[in-house]
Amino acid sequence: MTDNVGRWDVSQGGGGMTLTWDAMEVFLATAHPNYQILSGSVVEDGYPGKVYFDLITIGDCTLDGHDDIAPADGDNDNVPDDDDNCPTTANPGQQDNDNDGTGDACDADDDNDGVPDTTDNCDFNANPNQTDSDNDGIGDACDTQTGPPTTANQCKNGGWANYNVPRSFKNQGDCMQFVNTGK
């Protein structure tokens, strides 16, 4: 991770430093040997005896004011707690199917349909009615293969349209014909 740092007061390095990029590198490398300086530039802020260093990019740290503070990351997934949609569950990808701000890894209802993931027959497709026309445990909303119908009732009330296995049906009669004849 890299973080852009707006200002870094180098007067604390002993004051009166030579105002060169090389000197800045030496100062930062001494004060923070674990940090890799990726790029930067020197600016003069106009205060006598003080020099500020603008727009430093430093690897693997955040510099906050005059202190280096690594952001808290309770689950060690490299997403700081403040930005993490599951701060106590490692989820580096931060996937959030329903965009409710709670990551899939810690969201008990990933599609916000009111049916908890533990019982939802389509936990990434909102289907509060849980309709499962072919009773295979996969809801119609996410079932790529629904069928075949086995009873006439399954064809009625528009049910025929739910099926695509072994084929789609043109209408209720077509569906009932399949139930009765297998064709």
Are the beta carbons of 77 and 87 closer than 8 angstroms? no
Q: How far is the CB of 168 from Ca ion (least distance, A)?
A: 15
182 Cβ contact partners less than 8 Å away, ≥ 6 residues apart:
none
**Using CB under 5 A, which of the segments 42-50, 60-68, 141-149, 162-170 binds Ca ion?**
141-149
Q: How far is the CB of 3 from Ca ion (least distance, A)?
A: 15
Q: Answer yes or no whether residue 28 interacts with Ca ion by CB under 5 A.
A: no
By CB under 5 A, name the one of 107, 160, 175, 176 that touches Ca ion: 107
Q: How far is the CB of 169 from Ca ion (least distance, A)?
A: 16
Q: Answer yes or no whether residue 136 interacts with Ca ion by CB under 5 A.
A: yes
CA triplet 35, 38, 43: central angle to 5 degrees?
Answer: 100
For 179, what's the count of Cα atoms within 13 Å in the CB-facing half-sphere? 19
Q: Answer yes or no whether residue 111 interacts with Ca ion by CB under 5 A.
A: yes
Q: What is the H or E stretch that residue 47 is in? A: none
The Cα–Cα gap between 54 and 5 comes to: 7
* 16, 80, 97, 167 from 86: Cα distances, Å: 46, 10, 13, 43
Q: Answer yes or no whether residue 113 interacts with Ca ion by CB under 5 A.
A: yes
The site string for Ca ion over 69-88 (x = CB under 5 A, - otherwise) reads ----x-x-x-x----x----
By CB under 5 A, name the one of 55, 138, 142, 161 that touches Ca ion: 138
**Using CB under 5 A, which of the segments 6-14, 19-27, 49-57, 116-124 binds Ca ion?**
116-124
- The neighbouring-strand residues paired with 2 are 59
CA–chain centroid gap for 132, Å, is 30
Q: Which residues bind Ca ion (CB under 5 A)?
A: 73, 75, 77, 79, 84, 96, 98, 100, 102, 107, 109, 111, 113, 115, 120, 132, 134, 136, 138, 143
